[in-house]
Amino acid sequence: MSRPPKVQWHAPGRVNLIGDHTDYCGGFVLPMALDRECVITVAPGAADRVNATSLQLEGVVDVAADGRDDPRAVEPSWGRFVAGAVQAVTERGVRVPALDLEVSSTVPAGSGLSSSSALAVALTLALADAGGVELDRRDAARVALDAEVRAVGVPGGLMDQLASLFGQVDHALLIDCRSLDIEAIPIPDDIAVLVAHCGLPRTLADSEYAERRAACERAAAALGVATLRNATIEQVRENPRARHVVTENARVLACADALRANDLDTIGALMLASHASLRDDFEVSTPQLDLLVELLVEAGAAGARLTGAGFGGCAVGVARSRDAHNVLARAADRYQAASGLEPTVFIARAGPAAGRTLIA
């Protein structure tokens, strides 16, 4: 007798080219899915439990399939995502059966490359599918975000989940986080996307993130607008946090135009302006990220910026493809010499969206 095929769900991390701390303000972002992903192999389980093991993380997760477990109380702590996803899909009417899950990921953790969202998206799709429900992709993004909020309590926006669910090979995604319209923009062959981890994990990211988001919401409320997407530059000139959001939205749209036109210099200049705004107005950079951005440019990148929430993790840069290896190697050497920290660097290819594969 032949065994039934196993199902695998995979979901990529992302790197954001430009547009940070704009998604939860209804603004614009320009991420791309990475060719690094979280993969979940799904097999039938027993006794109304969802069990999960990980090839990289310790411990066995064991939660009730009906969503009754409080995600914040689950150990090992990565199991909070499993419990959060079980609850989030259950609340949408999915009946999750007993399952055995094996989780594996090539997305670097704690880097600003959305390893948690990759996990939450893969879990959401896998659990809904096991319950016989195919979620619309925008709904899947909302459910995966809900799962993450239940797991870790940080009120993120939707960029990471949408990037994972709508990624296209060799394309960046211009996402309007108010309408959730998404336009895939080809990344020209001769533009390389460089990713460099500063060697320090993100710290304070959760509490500071929530504080920044609250400041943006207060600014919008004071102006009488639904979100800062609806504010003008004149209205926010005196408020650095809100000023970042409004100017960053304009930079994202300009960067999308520059990408369509293969105008590397303009893309680079906009990334540098974005970094300066995140550093000075939004205050989410670190001395290490500032140094890394400076050294990437000194080594020949057209521009660079911190990517993701900030407070550590990665910088992203752009260079001509033929120069990319040299730029990264030179910047990494100089960074290590100057900071004593070991950066991890790679050239990022835009990978495909989350999806399902059957394995024999």
**Residues interacting with ligand GLA, by CB under 6 A?**
20-21, 23-24, 156-157, 159-160, 308-309
14: Cα separation from own chain's centroid: 5
Name the minimum Å distance from CB 308 to ligand GLA: 5
Name the minimum Å distance from CB 210 to ligand GLA: 11
**Which two tokens mark 304?**
């660079």
Our CB check for ligand GLA shows the closer of 18 and 328 to be 18
Determine the Cα–Cα distance for residues 286 and 201; give it in Å rounded to an integer: 11
Our CB check for ligand GLA shows the closer of 157 and 199 to be 157
Our CB check for ligand GLA shows the closer of 115 and 235 to be 115
CA dihedral defined by 212, 217, 223, 227, rounded to 10 degrees? Answer: 110
Name the minimum Å distance from CB 255 to ligand GLA: 14
Name the minimum Å distance from CB 104 to ligand GLA: 22
Q: What is the secondary structure of 36-68 as a DSSP string?
A: EEEEEEEEE-STTEEEEEESSS-S-EEEETTS-
Determine the Cα–Cα distance for residues 85 and 114; give it in Å rounded to an integer: 16
Our CB check for ligand GLA shows the closer of 10 and 21 to be 21
Our CB check for ligand GLA shows the closer of 45 and 167 to be 167
Asked if 294 contacts 335 with a C-beta cutoff of 8 angstroms, the reply is: no
Name the minimum Å distance from CB 32 to ligand GLA: 14
What are the C-alpha distances in Å from 176 to residues 27, 162, 238?
6, 11, 25
Q: What is the secondary structure of 309-346 as a DSSP string?
A: S-SSSEEEEEEEGGGHHHHHHHHHHHHHHHHS---EEE
Question: Counting beta carbons within 10 angstroms of the beta carbon of residue 2, is it exposed (0 to 12), middle (13 to 18) or buried (19 or more)?
Answer: exposed
Nearest to 97 by CA among 149, 19, 176, 43: 43
Determine the Cα–Cα distance for residues 16 and 23; give it in Å rounded to an integer: 11
Q: Cite the active site residues.
A: 160
